[in-house]
Amino acid sequence: MAGLAYTLGKREINYYFSVRSAKALALGAVLLLAACHAASRRYRGDDTCEYLLSSGRFLGEKVWQPHSCMMHKYKNSEAKNCLIDKHIVFLGDSRIRQLFYSFIKIINPQVKEEGNKHGNIPFEDKSASIKVDFLWYPEVNGSMRQRIKSWTEGSVAKPHIIVAGAATWSIKIHNGSNEALTQYKINITSVAPLLEKLAKTSDVYWILQDPVNEDMLSESRKMITNEKINAYNEAAVRILNSSSRNSKAKVKVFSVSKLIAQETIMKSSDGLHLPESSRDTNAMILMNVYCNKIMKPIDGSCCQPQPPLTLIQKLAFCFFTLSIVGYFVISIIHRNNYRKNKSCTDLEIGEEKKPTISTPNVSTLEMLLHCFCKLGLIMTYFYLCDRANLFMKENKFYTHSSFFIPIVYILVLGVFYTENTKETKVLNREQTDEWKGWMQLVILIYHISGASTFLPVYMHIRVLVAAYLFQTGYGHFSYFWIKGDFGVYRVCQVLFRLNFLVVVLCIVMDRPYQFYYFVPLVTVWFMIIYATLAMWPQIVQKKANGNCLWHFGLLLKLICLLACIYFLSYSQGAFEKVFSFWPLSKCFELNGNVYEWWFRWKLDRYVVFHGMLFAFIYLALQKHQMISEGKGDPLFSSRVSNVLLFISIVSFLTYSIWASSCKNKAECNELHPSVSVVQILAFILIRNIPGYVRSVYSSFFAWFGKISLELFICQYHIWLAADTKGILVLIPGYPMFNVIVSTFIFVCVAHEISQITNDLAQIVVPKDNSTLLKRLLCIAGFFSGLLFFSAMQEQSRH
Marked catalytic residue, from 54, 94, 190, 651: 94
Cβ-based neighbours of 577, under 8 Å, separated by 6 or more: none
CB 463 within 8 A of CB 680: yes
Q: Are 477 and 539 in contact (CB under 8 A)?
A: no
Closest to 717 measured CA to CA, from 384, 295, 317: 384
SS (H, E, C) 395-410: ECCCCHHHHHHHHHHH
- Based on the number of CB atoms within 10 Å of its own CB, is 502 exposed (0-12), middle (13-18) or buried (19 or more)? buried
Q: Which of 269, 270, 485, 768 is catalytic?
A: 270
The CA distance from 302 to 489, in Å, is 48
Task: Give me the DSSP letters along 244-259.
Answer: GGGTTSPPEEE-HHHH
Cβ partners under 8 Å of residue 97, min gap 6 = 90, 117, 121, 134, 136
Sign of torsion, CA 315 319 320 322? positive
Nearest CA-CA partner of 790 in 614, 586, 645, 628: 586
- The pairing of strands 726-729 and 720-721 is antiparallel
Q: Look up residue 734 and give its DSSP letter.
A: -
Q: Which of 37, 67, 72, 273 is catalytic?
A: 273
Using alpha carbons only, what angle is made at residue 755 by residues 753 and 759, rounded to the nearest 5 degrees? 115
Q: What is the 3-state secondary structure (H, E, C) of 192-229?
A: HHHHHHHCCCCEEEEECCCCCCHHHCCHHHCCCCHHHH
Kindly list the distances between the CA atom of residue 404 and the CA atoms of 314, 456, 744, 764, in Å, as whole numbers in the listed order: 43, 13, 20, 43
Measured distance CA(766)–CA(784) in Å, rounded: 22
Pairing between β-strand 418-420 and β-strand 392-395 as defined by DSSP bridges: unpaired
Residue 406: partners with Cβ closer than 8 Å, 6 or more residues away: 445, 449
Strands 87-92 and 161-165: parallel
- Torsion angles phi and psi, residue 658, rounded to 5: -60, -45
Between CA 65 and CA 55 the distance in angstroms is 9
280 part of the active site: no
SS3 of residue 126 by DSSP: coil
Distance CA 701, CA 742 (A): 19
**Residue 216 phi/psi, 5° resolution?**
-95, -5
Gap between the Cα atoms of 66 and 422, Å rounded = 52
Reply yes or no on whether 94 is catalytic. yes
Element (H, E) at 418: strand 418-420
Dihedral of the alpha carbons of 555, 558, 562, 567, in degrees to the nearest 10: 110
Beta bridge partners of residue 59, listed in sequence order = 63
Please give the single-letter amino acid code of residue 313: Q
For the annotated catalytic residues, the residue numbers are: 94, 270, 273
